[in-house]
Amino acid sequence: MLRRAWKPIAATTVLIGTPSYLYYTFTKQQTFELGVRVRGPDGKPVMTNRTFSLLSKDVVKERLREHATFETKSSPGGITWNHTTAAVAANDPLEDAHSEAIITRDPSDPASPGDWLFFTVMDGHGGPHTSRLLSKTLINAVVLELSTLIHAPRSESAKSGILESVKSFFRSPTRSDTTEGENPQAVSLAIQKAFTKLDQELLNAPLAVLAANLDDATLKKNVLPDLSKHPMALPTMLPAVSGSCALMAVFDTAHRDLYVACTGDSRAVAGIWEETAEGQGSWRVEVLSEDQTGRNPTELKRIQSEHPADEAPNVIRAGRVLGGLEPSRAFGDARYKWPRDVQEVLNRAFLVGNDQPLRPPPSSFKTPPYVTATPVVTHSKLSFPRNDWPSSKQSSGLRFVVLATDGLWDKLSSEEAVALVGGHLTGIKGTVNQASLSELVPTRTGAPAVEGKDKRREGKDRMWDFVDDNVSSHLIRNAFGGGDVAGLRRLMSIPAPFARSHRDDTTVTVVWWEDGQESEAKTATFSAEKVKAKL
């Protein structure tokens, strides 16, 4: 049904050019040398050569597919939803995380049939603690905020507990209850609130533990207790002091809405198939989020406006917050949010006794917070078929969304990612050079996008490999080398911690749907200020 709906390529199985490598059977383990940075005897970093084992093609394939998943779901409206996820680590342990949830509306719901679909990828840094916590809590936080939004008019909602509030989200609301749920600006603001509230809870958790353990005698003596062995010491501190970007896509199929919330420098990209009356067409590339770093002029202006004028030259240095943190929005990262004296107290109470002292804040740290978890939310209007629509199909429209941590975008452009997914979904097989892929899967760029990072990608003569069934693994393979199998093997063979200098943890989720009628996909960006002004 995918091929019937789009018809973008006459022959969907293609092998172009000569193979870029020959397969050899080796009788002994291959190795390679790599210059790496290590600490010398005096503690200062020095460069030296190290020898590493070269992974075989089969082992590389296993690692690309180790965390790969595929799920599909048929909806009452005749649409089949598919989504894949894959992840490859550069750090040990992997600092990325992801989560997803699909919630089906009750048949008695006036907005039925339809689903809520949630997909998230989290890019952790400074450890996996924040991203792992978000993978368990972020979707729940958004669901709770949306339930409050949708059921706010009901008088009994104020009396019900949190659990009852969450349960009520899945019940059938009255028509009056759904008014705000149909308002894209209100939904966008609810998602923003959920992100912001969850980060505040994450940052306040250690303070709550400390307050609960300060009795009158301790306060009179003005002695800070050693809570390093408290069962909640590390479980509350580590997610607060490490950090994570978060990217979420929310599909409301009943109201035909797509929301993308971005905190940090992960990125969401949509592929929109535009077909002519003659059956020819191309993929329009729409970037649904902006890389939020100090290199993004909008983010630079925002951060500078939130601090005194005399801090403007130092608040962003070399594209990084206070010269250190690259993403300008993130969960956790308490070193950039807690006041200096609060950091000192919590460090002494919880971390020093665990031999995990908190690094002091940057020298230019004066007026926190410098980082926020509040996301920028974009809204795209979709058009799915109704039961009473004619049976004829519209062949143009938004067809898939790629959500990925910045490990993918360090190696691939948005246009390349859309072409690789479009080619995969239409059945291309084998090795394809870059010029030929452009002819087979033509793309054009939609609205201008902001590159928030200093990218150093490969040249224009790359070879792409179409060998993976899982489209997320397919993207990671081609980001890391594709048809250059020797380069792919070498890059994948670099172990932690040295791998981080050559590639990042990479997590990719691809969502696509079949037999839809998404004839329009206009994107608008909502900021908290704009939404508040209109509500």
Distance CA 443, CA 284 (A): 6
- DSSP state, 533? H
Give the amino acid at 249: A
Residue 201 lies inside a defined structural domain of this protein? yes
Burial of 462 (0-12, 13-18, 19+ CB in 10 A): buried
User: Domain of 204: which CATH number?
Assistant: 3.60.40.10
Residue 323 lies inside a defined structural domain of this protein? no
Residue 308 lies inside a defined structural domain of this protein? no
Distance CA 203, CA 189 (A): 21
Structural domains of the chain, count: 1
Residue 496 lies inside a defined structural domain of this protein? yes
Distance CA 289, CA 262 (A): 6
Residue with tokens 């059956």: 279
* Per-residue buried b or exposed e for 265-285, using 16+ beta carbons within 10 Å of the residue's own CB: bbbbbbbbbbbeeeeebbbbb
Phi-psi region of 88 (alpha: psi -120 to 50; beta: other; left: phi over 0): beta
Residue 328 lies inside a defined structural domain of this protein? no
How is residue 146 written in tokens?
């949306």
Q: Are 383 and 397 within 8 A, CB to CB?
A: yes
Give first-to-last CA distance, the chain, whole Å: 42
Between the alpha carbon of residue 526 and those of residues 50, 185, 262, 267, 325, the distances in Å are 49, 7, 11, 16, 25
Residue 127 lies inside a defined structural domain of this protein? yes
Between the alpha carbon of residue 150 and those of residues 181, 188, 194, 356, the distances in Å are 5, 13, 14, 44
Phi, psi of 294 (to 5 degrees): -70, -10
Pick from 21, 111, 171: which is nearest to 482 by CA?
21
Pick from 361, 371, 315, 316: which is nearest to 340 by CA?
361
Domain that holds residue 445: 2-19+29-274+284-294+372-534
- DSSP state, 84? E
Q: Please tell me the total number of residues recorded for the chain in this structure.
A: 535
Cis peptide leading into residue 113 (ω within 30°): yes
Phi, psi of 465 (to 5 degrees): -115, 125
Q: Are 98 and 120 within 8 A, CB to CB?
A: yes
**pLDDT tens, residue order, the chain (535 aa):** 444 445 444 344 445 444 444 444 444 679 999 998 888 888 888 889 999 999 999 999 999 999 999 999 887 667 888 999 999 999 999 999 999 999 877 676 666 677 899 999 999 999 999 999 999 999 999 999 998 876 655 434 334 444 444 444 444 444 344 445 568 999 999 999 999 999 999 999 999 999 999 887 777 777 899 999 999 999 999 999 999 999 999 999 888 899 999 999 999 999 998 887 677 788 999 999 999 999 999 999 999 999 999 998 899 999 999 999 999 999 999 999 999 999 999 999 999 999 999 999 988 999 999 999 999 999 998 755 433 333 334 456 778 999 999 999 999 999 999 999 999 998 999 999 999 999 999 998 887 777 777 666 666 689 999 999 999 999 999 999 999 999 999 999 999 999 999 999 999 999 998 864 433 334 444 444 443 333 3
Q: What are the tens digits of pLDDT across the range 315-330? A: 999 999 999 999 999 9
Residue 332 lies inside a defined structural domain of this protein? no
Residue 339 lies inside a defined structural domain of this protein? no
